Amino acid sequence: MFGLNAKDTRLLLIVIGLVVFAPFLMNPFPTDSGLAQFNAGYPDLMQRFVIFGIFAIGFNILFGLTGYLSFGHAAFLGAGSYAAVWMLKLLTINVIPAILISTLVAGAFALLIGFISLRRSGIYFSILTLAFAQMAFALAASVLTPITGGETGLQTALNDPRILDGAASGTGNIPAPALFGLEMRDSWDWVVGGWSFTFNAGYYLAGLFMIGAFYLSILIFRSPFGLMLKAIKTNQTRLNYTGLNSRPYTLAAFVISGMYAGLAGGLMASMDPLAGAERMQWTASGEVVLMAILGGAGTLIGPVLGAGFIKYFENIFSKINDNVLHQWFAFMPDGIENFLVTILHPFVGKGWHLTLGLVFMLVVIFLPGGLVEGGQRIGRLFSRKKKTDDSPNADTKPAE
SS (H, E, C) the chain: CCCCCHHHHHHHHHHHHHHHCHHHHCCCCCCCCCCHHHCCCCHHHHHHHHHHHHHHHHHHHHHHHHCCCCCCCHHHHHHHHHHHHHHHHHCCCEHHHHHHHHHHHHHHHHHHHHHHHCCCCHHHHHHHHHHHHHHHHHHHHHHCHHHHCHHHCEECCCCCCCCCCCCCCCCCCCCCCEECCEECCCEEEEEECCEEEEEEHHHHHHHHHHHHHHHHHHHHHHCHHHHHHHHHHHHHHHHHHCCCCCHHHHHHHHHHHHHHHHHHHHHHHHHCCEECHHHHCHHHHHHHHHHHHHHCCCCCCHHHHHHHHHHHHHHCHHHCCHHHHHHHCCCCCHHHHHHHHHHHHHHCHHHHHHHHHHHHHHHHHHCCCHHHHHHHHHHHHHHHHHHHHHCCCCCCCCCC
27 CB-near residues (< 8 Å, 6+ apart): 39, 40, 41, 195, 196, 197
Rg (CA), the chain: 24
Q: Find out whether 317 and 327 touch, Cβ atoms under 8 Å.
A: no
What does the pLDDT read at residue 399? 41
Asked whether residue 347 is domain-assigned, the answer is: no
Bridge partners of 200, per DSSP, are 187
Question: Does the residue 244 lie in any domain?
Answer: yes
Q: Show Cβ contacts of residue 357 under 8 Å, excluding neighbours closer than 6 positions.
A: none
Give the residues across from 197 on adjacent strands.
190
What is the structure's pLDDT at 63? 95
Please report whether residue 162 resides in a domain.
yes
What's residue 389's pLDDT? 67
φ/ψ (deg, to 5) at 29? -115, 145
Task: Give the whole-angstrom CA distance, residue 230 versus residue 246.
Answer: 11
**Residues of the chain with confidence (pLDDT) below 50:** 394, 397-400
**What's the CA gap between 349 and 357, in Å, rounded?**
14
Q: Hey, which residues does 240 pair with through a beta bridge?
A: none
Between CA 221 and CA 217 the distance in angstroms is 6
Query: Residue 194: is it exposed, middle or buried by C-beta count within 10 angstroms (0-12/13-18/19+)?
Result: exposed
Q: Is 72 left (phi over 0), alpha (psi -120 to 50) or beta?
A: alpha
Residue 184 lies in a domain: yes
pLDDT of the residue at 380: 85
- Would you give the distance in Å from CA 379 to the centre of its chain? 25
Give the CB-side neighbour count of residue 210, counting CA atoms within 13 A.
37
Domain assignment present for residue 216? The answer is: yes
Contacts of 145 (CB under 8 A, 6+ apart): none
How many whole angstroms from its chain centre is CA 231? Answer: 26
User: Would 256 be classed as within a structural domain?
Assistant: yes
Question: What are the CA-CA distances from residue 81 to residues 52, 91, 227, 283, 374 (Å)?
Answer: 13, 15, 32, 17, 34
* Number of domains comprising the chain: 1
pLDDT at 37: 82
Distance, CA of 166 to chain centre: 34
In a domain, 199, yes or no: yes
Instruction: End-to-end CA distance of the chain: give it in Å, rounded.
Output: 47
Q: How many CB atoms lie within 10 A of CB 18?
A: 21
Which pLDDT score, from 0 to 100, does residue 288 have? Answer: 94
Domain that holds residue 162: 6-29+37-281
> What digits encode the pLDDT tens for the residues 313-369?
888 878 888 888 888 888 888 889 899 989 988 888 888 888 888 888 888 888 888
Rounded to 5 degrees, φ, ψ at 184 are -65, -20
- Asked, for residue 174, whether it belongs to a domain, the answer is yes
Does residue 266 contact residue 52 with C-beta atoms inside 8 Å?
no
